[in-house]
């Protein structure tokens, strides 16, 4: 009968209930014996959703007939289709669950160029170490869609075209890239909504210039700041909205980063 043994007498031991009423998250910093209720020390192949631990959905394998992929990134088509852009030496395949599209490259990309894919302003840009960035306008409706090299024409006094950067980030409606033509520790900002007009006079910043402390990652931070991660130091750049009044500050020379993708963000925390 339900509830038959829920009560106990004077000589009986009371029922000791164990376990958590719900799950809040993971705490890998505290000792397992001091975990607060609702926290896990470790969890594998699960998600914590609405206080419950749910099995994480597995991966689905979609084989491609073309070997030799060099890199990949996401392209969210304004028309509503989400693609994975897969870079091969002579072309880029845009794959979604409903369609596979092929876009030609104007040059052959070598593996040592470490191509990286970035979406901005409705375009797809491929950065390559020491080489001209390639761009695609996202229009699959043309007869032969293709990437083209970014123009090298000077936009005007105090401005330059996009440098031959190995990576970049899109933040606050600007493209931010290293400027290896100046130094290994220089970064530069584009004009708003213009990814090939860079502000040499007002938007170029130097992080330990004159050293080999190469800038290896640029990370968006809070509302209007960037974390600039060098090989052996970390800097912060503020006020991207108005580069003429922006400043850089050194945070530490005790830590650095190994590469452009060796970081992740979760809430207010940046891990590297």
How many other C-beta atoms can be found within 10 angstroms of the C-beta atom of residue 135?
21
> Do 76 and 90 form a contact (C-beta atoms < 8 A)?
no
Predicted confidence at residue 52, as pLDDT, reads 81
**Tens of each residue's pLDDT in the chain, 272 residues:** 455 556 667 777 766 666 677 777 788 888 888 888 888 888 888 887 777 888 887 777 777 767 789 999 999 988 888 999 999 999 999 999 889 999 999 999 999 999 999 999 889 999 998 899 999 999 999 999 999 999 999 888 889 999 999 999 999 999 999 999 999 999 999 999 999 999 988 899 999 888 999 999 999 998 899 999 999 999 999 999 899 999 999 999 999 999 999 999 988 889 99
Conformation bin of residue 73: beta by default, left when phi > 0, alpha when psi is -120 to 50: beta
Predicted confidence at residue 49, as pLDDT, reads 78
Measured between alpha carbons, how far is 259 from 189 in angstroms, rounded to an integer?
Answer: 20
pTM: 0.78
Predicted confidence at residue 188, as pLDDT, reads 96
CA-closest candidate to residue 220, choices 244, 197, 189: 189
β-strands 186-191, 123-128: how paired? unpaired
CA-closest candidate to residue 105, choices 82, 134, 68: 134
Predicted confidence at residue 270, as pLDDT, reads 93
């Amino acid at each position: 009968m339900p509830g038959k043994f829920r009560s106990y007498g004077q000589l009986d031991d009371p029922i000791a209930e164990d376990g958590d009423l719900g799950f809040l998250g993971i705490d890998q910093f505290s000792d397992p014996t001091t975990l607060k209720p609702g926290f896990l020390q470790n969890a594998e192949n699960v998600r914590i959703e609405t206080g419950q631990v749910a099995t994480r959905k597995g991966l689905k394998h979609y084989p491609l007939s073309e070997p030799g992929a060099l890199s990949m990134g996401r392209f969210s088509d304004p028309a509503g289709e989400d693609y994975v852009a897969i870079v091969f030496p002579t072309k880029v395949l845009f794959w979604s669950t409903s369609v596979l599209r092929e876009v030609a490259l104007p040059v052959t990309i070598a593996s040592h160029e470490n191509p990286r894919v970035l979406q901005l302003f409705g375009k797809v840009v491929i950065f390559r170490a020491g080489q001209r960035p390639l761009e695609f306008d996202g229009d699959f409706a043309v007869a032969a869609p293709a990437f083209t090299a970014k123009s090298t024409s000077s936009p005007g006094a105090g401005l330059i075209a996009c440098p031959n950067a190995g990576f970049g980030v899109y933040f606050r409606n600007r493209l931010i890239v290293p400027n290896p033509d100046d130094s290994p520790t220089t970064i530069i900002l584009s004009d708003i909504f213009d990814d090939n007009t860079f502000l040499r006079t007002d938007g170029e910043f130097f992080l330990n210039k004159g050293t080999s402390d190469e800038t290896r990652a640029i990370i968006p931070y809070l509302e209007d700041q960037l974390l600039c991660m060098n090989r052996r130091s970390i800097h912060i750049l503020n006020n991207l909205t108005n580069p003429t009044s922006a400043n850089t500050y050194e945070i530490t020379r005790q830590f650095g980063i190994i590469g452009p993708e060796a970081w992740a963000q979760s809430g207010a925390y940046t891990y590297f």
